[in-house]
Homo-oligomer: A and B are copies of this chain.
Amino acid sequence: MLQWDAVHIIVADCSAQYSGRLQASLPSARRVLLIKADQSVLIFSELGSYKPLNWMAAPCTIKEIAPDETDRTDRTDPAPVRVLRVAADKSDDILEIEIYRIFSDETFDLGIDPGLSKDGVEDHLQHYLAKQIERIGSGARLVSREYPTPIGPVDIMAVDAEGNHVAIEIKRHGGIDGVEQLTRYCKLLNRDPLISPVRGIFAAQTITAQARTLAQDRGFECLILDYEDMKGTDDGSLRLF
């Protein structure tokens, strides 16, 4: 039987049906089933990337039911040897797995996992650009990172050499949505006579052509961020050509 303080690894010929936000059916084939201690279930095959073909996320409850209690009347597969009905606790999502032949069934207690520590995403770009704010123009000064507005924080707020406010939206990869975000911020900030006029800068490691066009149409500048270059300049001494 299944045991709930451990992970189960099952290799079997199986089919699966998911019913919830959508219907998804998986014909019979040889697959890897991973059943975690929280009763979440993942079904893998050689297909796809890290995403399972089908799954049920925790919190959920697994019930092993008798093979002849299944709902399916359109039976074409041979009779399953085991049937698992996995039901989500907080919705009526159901994943039903029919197992026809088991090649391996192992159980392991993995214990506590210390978890993953990440380092170096958009936050780093923001960090470096804040420290090297003259990348937006000589004489620029930093006002603040995560400058608060009623509709969310502006990534970087600065003042240029002429004393104009500059709102900077930073993305790793700049798309249209980022330009829209910057537009909302600038529109709102420009209503405030104390800081208007506000220049907008769209800064990213890469910017799509469409986003660049949209940004320029909205009167924003685009700034390509070279992560390695910024990292190399991290002592604070900005190369001024």
Interface residues of A (CB under 8 A from B): 7, 9, 11, 21-27, 29-32, 34, 36-38, 40, 42, 44-47, 49-55, 57-58, 103-104, 106, 108-121, 151, 172, 176-177, 180, 184, 210
* Known pairs A9-B11, A51-B50; A32 contacts B120 (CB<8 A): no
Q: Is the CB of A118 within 8 A of B23?
A: yes
Q: Is the CB of A46 within 8 A of B50?
A: no
Nearest residue in B to A108 (C-beta to C-beta)? B11
Which chain B residues lie closer than 8 Å to A31 at the CB level?
Answer: 110, 113
A52 to B172, CA, bound (A): 23
Minimal beta-carbon separation of A101 from chain B (angstroms): 12
Q: Which 4 A-B pairs have the closest CB atoms?
A: A45-B113, A22-B120, A23-B119, A30-B110
Q: Is the CB of A58 within 8 A of B50?
A: no
A121 to B22, CA, bound (A): 6
Q: Is the CB of A21 within 8 A of B114?
A: no
Minimal beta-carbon separation of A46 from chain B (angstroms): 5
A210 to B188, CA, bound (A): 14
Minimal beta-carbon separation of A206 from chain B (angstroms): 12
* Known pairs A119-B22, A121-B21; A113 contacts B7 (CB<8 A): no
